[in-house]
């Protein structure tokens, strides 16, 4: 093809206007591939600097110099924050005296959500660009001095086109909730077995018994103080779980609040202050009433668009039994039903999601190594791994608590 590729080291090197003319050829959308989201990662230094994610976005132009393609890409000096695990591949390289890093990862950093990874101009097909990437793959790796190319959490159609073009396909499993045109949360509950309905109702009632209430705040109604408290929760949870304060900076979340408020949902958990409870008088014509001041204890931040809700970030300052399930799962399900959103991706991993109605879903990535022997070894490994992944998804699906699932057995 008479196309030319080049790489840019920041989103600032491409205009918003040019970027806006590109779209995903499969016609899906994603808040994570908006200019504002990718730019916020760079402006807030979540990528670049010493993060191990060096922006190296691929742009494709036609003979007339017109922009016809964009792929978010990063030179990686480690394998953290990707969620498609290749540490064993890196170890194999090292054992043979070869350098696995840097590698080129075409992905949205810290975001294991299936979605478009290749944006194209009108009338350019995913099959064309997949063939083009195969054609220039060796040149890409040689020019950028990388060991390998990795396209993570791309959509099935794009992944299969890449697989035909010798980018080896790897599958993994996540658990997503699907809105079966429910009109109310009770409709969803009615679709479950009686045992699971009782269990979920007990789980949700237990939150209130512990004195905790939850509220959902959308878009411009999310204040800076809300976001500041969320970030405190986010950091504390990461420190407790992983020993670091999280991949994303406070400035990143503030920038999302300014530039993408229409894509944000914040769930806040509050409890009545148990010590030094302050009574706030409310003046009205009715008899004097009192309201107990609420104290926030946990937050979950979601991104969403018309096609999906994506549960990405969570944190809590208190240990409340079942609160994570309520804030991160049930509140999201209710929101999807209210907003008529068909898909809810609550995050990676977690078989506990199955019994709460989240269906095993196959995710796709594609990989190509510069060293021929390792490329063949990866292909062989994936040939053996894929049936195991499919079997795991099928076995997990058999555990779904829907009545129709039980009746089909």
The pLDDT of residue 277 is: 38
What's the CA gap between 127 and 26, in Å, rounded? 11
pTM: 0.92
Tens digits of per-residue pLDDT, 243-302?
888 899 999 999 999 999 999 999 999 998 654 333 323 333 344 444 557 899 999 999
From the list 15, 24, 14, 33, the residue with the least C-alpha distance to 108 is 33
Average pLDDT, the chain: 92
CB 21 within 8 A of CB 62: no
Q: Which long-range contacts (CB under 8 A, 24 or more apart) does 70-73 make?
A: 70/14, 70/19, 70/22, 70/118, 70/119, 71/106, 71/117, 71/118, 71/119, 71/151, 72/33, 72/38, 72/106, 72/107, 72/108, 72/117, 73/7, 73/104, 73/105, 73/106, 73/107
Domain covering 4-174+361-397, topology: Aminopeptidase (3.40.630)
Q: Please list the residue range(s) of the chain that carry CATH number 3.40.630.30.
A: 4-174+361-397, 180-341
Tens digits of per-residue pLDDT, 343-401?
999 988 788 999 999 999 999 999 999 999 999 999 999 999 999 999 999 999 999 99
Beta pairing partners, 55: 74
Q: Torsion-angle region of residue 70: left (phi > 0), alpha (psi -120 to 50) or beta?
A: beta
The pLDDT of residue 55 is: 98
Mean pLDDT confidence for 140-145: 98
The pLDDT of residue 288 is: 44
Class of domain 180-341 as given by CATH:
alpha beta
What 3-state DSSP class applies to 375? Answer: helix
């Amino acid at each position: 093809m008479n196309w030319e590729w080049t790489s840019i080291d920041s989103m600032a090197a491409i205009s918003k206007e040019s970027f806006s003319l590109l779209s995903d050829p499969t016609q899906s959308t994603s808040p994570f591939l908006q200019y504002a989201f990718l730019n916020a990662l760079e402006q807030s230094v979540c990528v670049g600097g010493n993060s191990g994610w060096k922006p190296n976005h691929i742009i494709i132009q036609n003979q007339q110099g017109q922009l016809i393609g964009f792929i978010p890409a990063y030179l990686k000096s480690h394998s953290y924050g990707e969620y498609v695990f290749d540490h064993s591949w890196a170890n194999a390289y090292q054992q043979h005296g070869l350098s696995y890093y840097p590698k080129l990862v075409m992905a949205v950093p810290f975001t294991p959500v299936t979605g478009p990874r290749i944006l194209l101009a009108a009338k350019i097909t995913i099959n064309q660009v997949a063939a083009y990437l195969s054609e220039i793959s060796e040149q890409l790796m040689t020019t950028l001095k990388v060991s390998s190319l990795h396209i993570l959490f791309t959509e099935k159609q794009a992944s299969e086109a890449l697989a035909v073009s010798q980018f080896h396909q790897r599958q993994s499993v996540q658990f997503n909730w699907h809105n079966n045109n429910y009109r109310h949360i009770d409709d969803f509950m009615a679709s479950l077995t009686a045992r699971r309905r009782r269990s979920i109702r007990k789980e949700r009632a237990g939150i209130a018994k512990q004195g905790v209430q939850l509220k959902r705040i959308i878009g411009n109604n999310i204040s800076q103080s809300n976001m500041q408290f969320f970030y405190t929760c986010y950091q504390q949870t990461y420190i407790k779980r992983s020993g670091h304060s999280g991949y994303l900076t406070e400035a990143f979340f503030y920038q999302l609040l300014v530039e993408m408020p229409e894509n944000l949902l914040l769930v806040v958990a509050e409890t009545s202050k148990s010590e030094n409870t302050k009574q706030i008088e409310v003046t009205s014509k009715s008899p004097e009433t009192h309201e107990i001041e609420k104290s926030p204890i946990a937050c979950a931040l979601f991104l969403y668009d018309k096609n999906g809700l994506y549960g990405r970030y969570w944190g809590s300052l208190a240990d409340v039994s079942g609160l994570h399930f309520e804030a991160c799962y049930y509140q999201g399900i209710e929101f999807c039903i209210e907003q008529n959103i068909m898909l809810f991706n609550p995050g990676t991993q977690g078989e506990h999601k199955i019994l709460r109605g989240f269906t095993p879903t196959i995710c796709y990535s594609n990989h190509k190594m510069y060293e021929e022997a390792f490329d063949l070894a990866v292909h062989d490994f994936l040939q053996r791994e894929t049936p195991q992944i499919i079997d795991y998804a099928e076995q997990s699906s058999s555990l779904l608590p829907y009545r129709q699932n039980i009746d089909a057995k």
